[in-house]
Amino acid sequence: EKNDTLLSEKDLIATIEKHIRQYEASYVVVKSDSRYSAISLYLQRAGFIFMENQIDLRANKKDIADSVEKYRKVCAGAHCRLADEEDIQMIFSEMERGIFDTDRVALDPYFGIKAANRRYLFWIQDELERGAWATIYTFEDAPIGFSLDKASADGKTIISLLGGLFNQPETRRLGAIFKYAGAVGFCNSGFLFLKTAVSSNNLNILQLHLAFGCRITAIKNVLIKHCP
């Protein structure tokens, strides 16, 4: 965080190592605003490896509504619905096929795609228990993907935690359809703003977010370390 820039390199690393010992951590992830380049340099000298940038995005209803009108004709047939229990099980089955393959866990030789998708599966279960909800996206009545979302504390913002296309040949080129369906769903909701984050390893989804009204609000460097 910003106050960490006041620490010397020695004190910063010592603080992180203290947490590693406290939690007996074998895998550590550190995120730092890309504006604080010195922190990333300190971490890399201490054996941390840069894996990705996390790009934070935000949009308001007007900008998303404008994008919906722009793409309405080319994205006809796209819809979304609240997922039921059967849909949740379908999402989990699809994740076993390896939906997510570009994040830091999937690209890490210590873990890989299977572990990355298992991690997301457990995360979905946790978030659903905490009040989040899942949405199914369809094209011409066929399921093509899903998202996991929650509301902000003030109820004005939908926070998109996770989303992806199902790993099937017929869905791979439907990214714009998927995003359009979500944009329509947002415009029909009572939310005023949308917040999400994407990995720099997935430029396709970043471009789609920007095309549908999102703006970049922050970029974080993400570094990892496997502890002996």
Instruction: For the chain, 228 residues long, give each residue's pLDDT as a single digit of tens.
Output: 888 888 899 999 999 999 999 999 999 999 999 999 999 999 999 999 999 999 999 999 999 999 999 999 889 899 999 999 999 999 999 999 899 999 999 999 999 999 999 999 999 999 999 999 999 999 999 999 999 999 999 999 999 999 999 988 778 789 999 999 999 999 999 999 999 999 999 999 999 999 999 999 999 999 999 998
Question: Helix, strand, coil: what percent of the chain each, to 5?
Answer: 40, 30, 30
Nearest to 166 by CA among 74, 110, 100: 100
> What's the confidence (pLDDT) of residue 111?
96
> What's the confidence (pLDDT) of residue 147?
97
- Contact call for residues 112 and 146 (beta carbons, < 8 A): no
Cα–Cα distance, 228 to 214 (Å, whole number):
41
| pTM for this model (two decimals) | 0.92
> What's the confidence (pLDDT) of residue 170?
77
Nearest to 188 by CA among 58, 74, 81: 81
